[in-house]
Amino acid sequence: MYTALEKKLGYSFQSIKFLEHALTHRSYRYEDKRMDQDNQRLEFLGDAALGFVSANYLFTRFPDSQEGDLTRFRSRMANTQTLAQIASEIELGSFLRLGRGEQQSGGIHRTSNLADTLESILGAAFLDGELAAVQIIFETLFIPYFEKVPLVSLEDNPKGTLQETVQKQWKISPEYRLVREEGSAHSKQFTVEVLVKGEVLGQGTGTNKRLAEIEAAQEAFKQLQRMNESRT
Active site residues: 47, 119
CA gap 60, 69 in Å, rounded: 13
DSSP state of 195: E
Q: What angle do CA 72, 78, 79 make, to 5 degrees?
A: 85
Cβ pair 5, 95 in contact under 8 A: yes
**What's the residue count for the chain?**
232
Q: What is the DSSP string of 116-141?
A: HHHHHHHHHHHHHHHHHHHHHHIIII
Question: Crossing angle, helix 111-137 and helix 40-61, to 10 degrees?
Answer: 60
In sign, the C-alpha dihedral spanning 37, 38, 43, 49 is positive
Q: What angle do CA 153, 111, 125 make, to 5 degrees?
A: 90
Sheet of strand 199-206, all strands in order from the earlier edge strand to the far edge: 175-182, 189-196, 199-206
CA gap 37, 59 in Å, rounded: 35
- Of 60, 58, 56, 66, the C-alpha closest to 213 is 66
